Amino acid sequence: MTDSAMDILENSPLSKPRMMGTHGEKDTINYITNFLTQNSLQPQKEEIIWSNGLVRGRKVMEVFIGLFMVFFTISLYLEPPYNGYLPIAGIIGFLGFMVVFVTLLTKDKFEFLGKKAKGYNIIATVGKDRILTSEDENLKKEIFLTAHYDTVASSMPKFGKISIAGKALSLLFTLLLTLTTGILFLIRFYTHSLKLETTIVILRWIILGLTTFSLILIFISFFSKRTNDSDGACDNGSGSAVLLDLAAFFGKNPLKNVNLTFIWCAAEEWGLYGSKAYVKRHKEELMAMKDRFYNINVDMVGQEIAYMEKKGVFKTTPLNKTLNKLIKESAEEKEIEVRGFKSMMAGSSDHAPFKKIKLEVATFLSKKDVKKIHCDQDTLDIVNPEKMAGAVELIKRVIQKLDKKA
Give whole-number Cα distances, 136 to 133, 145, 157, in Å. 5, 24, 52
Q: How many CA atoms does the CB half-sphere of 312 hold within 13 Å?
A: 9
pTM: 0.92
Helix, strand, coil share (%) of the chain residues, nearest 5: 55, 15, 30
CA 173 to the chain's CA centroid: 26
Parallel, antiparallel, or unpaired: how do β-strands 44-51 and 317-318 relate? unpaired
Q: What is the H or E stretch that residue 210 is in?
A: helix 197-222
pLDDT given for residue 369 in this prediction: 81
> What are the DSSP calls for 89-123, one per residue?
HHHHHHHHHHHHHHHHHHTTTTGGGS-EEEEEEEE
Nearest-angstrom CA–CA distance, 136 and 208: 67
What type of residue sits at position 15? Answer: S
Walk along the chain (406 residues) and give the pLDDT tens digit of each residue: 568 999 999 999 999 999 999 999 999 999 999 999 999 999 999 999 999 999 999 999 999 999 999 999 999 999 999 999 999 999 999 999 999 999 999 888 999 999 999 999 999 999 875 444 455 545 789 999 999 999 999 998 888 878 989 999 999 999 999 999 999 999 999 998 888 999 999 999 999 999 999 999 999 999 999 999 999 999 999 999 999 999 999 999 999 999 999 999 999 999 999 999 999 999 999 999 999 999 999 999 999 999 999 888 878 899 999 999 999 999 999 999 999 999 887 778 999 999 999 999 999 998 888 889 999 999 999 999 999 999 999 999 999 999 997 6
pLDDT given for residue 159 in this prediction: 86
Beta bridge partners of 317: 311
Nearest-angstrom CA–CA distance, 91 and 84: 11
Nearest to 292 by CA among 397, 405, 131: 405
